Amino acid sequence: MTLCLKDCLGVLAQVAGGKDESVTQPLWTPKNELLFISDRTGWWNIYRDVDGKVTSCALMLQPLLGNDGERRQSPCFSLHKR
């Protein structure tokens, strides 16, 4: 999935995603920040876009492991409104 935004003139700008990056769960915060989950580093991490600048919120540097020591494929976080 590619994540794009329209500016006030209706011009599309790609925020994240594409051929080598998957993006999921976009969510706007009350502060008008865009949060999304991306695998741009090879692991699913949470990112924030503020005024066109994307930064990581929670960077995972190693695979998720379950209680049994086995590698897990899905992240242990989810973006949702409370």
Q: What is the pLDDT of residues 1-34, one digit of tens each?
A: 677 766 666 777 778 888 888 888 888 888 888 8
- pLDDT tens for residues 32-81? 888 888 888 888 888 998 888 888 887 555 555 566 666 555 555 555 55
Distance CA 76, CA 62 (A): 13
User: Strand 23-28 to strand 34-38: parallel, antiparallel, or no bridges (unpaired)?
Assistant: antiparallel
Contact 71, 64 (CB under 8 A): yes
**Residue 30, token pair as written in the block:** 């009350």
Q: Which two tokens stand for residue 31?
A: 């502060």
> Domain segments of the chain: what residues?
3-72
- Chain-centre distance of CA 27, in angstroms? 9
Q: Report pTM.
A: 0.64
